[in-house]
Amino acid sequence: MTLADFIVTNAPALLVAIPLFAAFTSPAVGKISTAARNLWVMGAMLLTAAVAFILAFRVFSTGTVIYVFGAAATTLAVPLDSGGIPIRIIFTVDAMSAFMEIICAIVGTSVLLYSLSSESKNTSLEGYYALFLLMITGVFGMVSTGDFFNFFVFLEILSLASAGLIAYRIDGGLAVEAALKYFVLSTLGAILVLFAIGIYYGQYNALNIAMIAQRMQFTMLDKIALVLLIAALAMKCGAVPMHFWTPDAYSMAPSSVTAFLVVASQASLYGLFRILFTFYNVTLNCVTVGWIIIILGILSMVVGVTMAIPQKDVKRLIAYCAISQTGYMLLGVGVGLAVLGNAALSNAFGFVAMEGGIFHIFNDAVFKGLLFLTAGAIFYRIGTCDLNKMGGLGHNMKYTMIFFIIGALATAGIPPFNGFASKLMIYESVYLFNPILAIIAMVVSILTLAVFVKVFHSIFMGPQLPEYADVKEAPLPMLIGMGILAAIVILFGLFPQLVVNGLVAPAAHALTNQGGYISSVLGGA
């Protein structure tokens, strides 16, 4: 067996194994020299991204890939002597998981490249890189696993690593305070998830997602488990009214970490959608639960953007906008869920709404990542995030300014950027479902634009301030990291149809197709 075959066969395992190995070895490599560690960490990240792309290509061309740990063959989900129960740990990578993996690979690579120079002035970098790679492990694990207990384990790896990184800059205790808030909440969330796992295991004797989905009865206990899971995961993805940790954590973490925290929140969003569509699907009371998700989405959109307006700290402001963008994803997928049981409505607009919501996950990860990275570049050069102290930076930081414009306009949903493409899909389909919701969504977009016009003006416009006269442009690795994301924002905005047909539609199909997920693991059925 050649190396290429080995990588293709074991891609799902390598996706978690490479960053995990690199995370724990990077402090040792760092003892040799800083350059060696940077090379080691970046190499591991590029390798992981390459494996993720190979795997995603395989999933999009041939369908769901399963990987069984420790079995005679990696595709042998149900051992012959187990009585039809998939007893081993399984990674099930369907189109939706592959979609999330592409996001994580792209954002992870550009953020790591960015942090090579943005964090270079700081001390105890060995911890930074180890924790960052653990975050990557956590996200990849959460989106690929086909075993619900493993989902909990990766969720905890992700929260522990994220909390460590949020507190990383200490900042007179402020960052630790933010990290504490985040970590106590996510631990409580994780305990709720574990309770739900116990409830499923007690009823169905299974931890495998496909097995639980197949046996799902929607009893009273399942309803309790559903409530626990929605509460925990909606909190983890920062939906209003459980968003209190988001602005603190996003603003106190180093910008590079914040850009990846957006992806981490979206991994929780993925978990939420996976539970709703793969565990329950039509056994659920789709209309009620769909409306709960829609209301969470609308609340997040409105509260997020109105809280963004008075903010004085640029990262806090972007964090509130991130909450409002999460609302769009919840709205789109919620509408898709609300009409899931009705084939006519689903075909008319429900499916397009889901595609819009899922497409927006990708777009949000890219443009919010870009905005946080530009905020980080500004902080790197002038040492403050306070909007009142900034001004006239457009004279010195031209590229950063261009990247900020791209990110801000994409967030507000202005063509030709990618935010427009996904928001248009959401507006059109949600309008058919309920016009008021679509109008709220548009008004929120306009407010977002207003917020960013104000921010843009106070950061970059105006005369050059004397104290910033000799501010230089951000260093090259940071510009490349931002450039990758900006290029994707523009490309996806110019060719949305390609992306929708190639990536988003298969992902949305995979998410709604519960039977396909079950049969890919358990066979037949």
Partner 1 sequence: MLWNLPFITVVVLTFIGIVTVLLKKNLIKILLGINILESAVNLFLVSLGYREGGVAPIFTLAPSELMVLPTPQALTLTSIVIGVATSALVLSFAMVLHKKYGTVDIDKIRRLKE
Unique residue bearing structure tokens 């630790």: 176
Minimum Å gap between C-beta 456 and partner 1 is 23
State whether residue 133 is helix, strand or coil: helix
Q: What is the nearest approach in angstroms of partner 1 to the Cβ of residue 160?
A: 6
Break the chain down into helix, strand, coil percent, rounded to 5. 80, 0, 20
- DSSP element (H, E) containing 446: helix 435-460
Q: Where are the alpha helices (DSSP H) in 237-384?
A: 245-252, 255-274, 286-308, 314-338, 343-345, 351-382
The residues binding partner 1 (CB under 8 A) are 149, 153, 156, 160, 163-164, 167, 170, 172-174, 176-180, 183-184, 187-188, 190-191, 194-195, 197-198, 201-202, 205, 207, 248, 252, 313
Q: Which of 107/178 has CB closer to partner 1?
A: 178
Q: Return the number of the residue (28 or 184) whose C-beta is nearest partner 1.
A: 184
- Quote the least distance from Cβ 363 to partner 1, whole Å: 29
In the bound state with partner 1, the residue whose beta carbon lies nearer, of 152 and 433, is: 152
**Taking the complex as a whole, how short is the minimal distance between the CB of residue 405 and partner 1, in angstroms?**
28
Angle, helices 125-144/148-166, rounded to nearest 10 degrees: 150
Q: What is the DSSP-derived secondary structure letter of residue 92? A: E
Nearer to partner 1, 95 or 160 (CB): 160
Q: Residue 502 CB: number of other CB atoms within 10 A?
A: 11
Q: What is the closest distance, in whole angstroms, from the C-beta atom of residue 264 to partner 1 in the complex?
A: 16
Closest CB to partner 1 among 253 and 358? 253
Closest contact distance (angstroms) between CB of 112 and partner 1 is: 23
Going by C-alpha positions, the residue among 146, 392, 358, 185 that lies closest to residue 273 is 358
Of residues 386 and 467, the one with the C-beta less far from partner 1: 386
- Closest C-alpha to 316, from 364, 263, 258, 380: 258
Residues facing 145 on adjacent strands: 91
Q: What CA–CA distance (Å, rounded) separates 363 from 518?
A: 29
Would you give the DSSP letter of residue 474? P
**Cβ proximity to partner 1, 129 vs 250, nearer residue:** 250
CB of 436 to partner 1, least distance (A): 30
User: Cα separation of 385 and 376, whole Å?
Assistant: 9
Task: Name the residue among 78, 68, 257 with its Cα closest to residue 158.
Answer: 257
Q: Whole-number minimum distance, CB 86 to partner 1, in Å? A: 12
Distances (CA, A) of 131 to 27, 137, 160, 199, 426: 11, 10, 9, 32, 36
Judged by CB, which is closer to partner 1: 38, or 246? 246
| Alpha-carbon gap, residue 128 to 260, rounded angstroms | 13
Q: Closer CB to partner 1, residue 312 or residue 398?
A: 312
Residue 176 Cβ vs partner 1, minimum distance, rounded to whole Å: 5
Helix (H), strand (E) at residue 67: strand 65-68
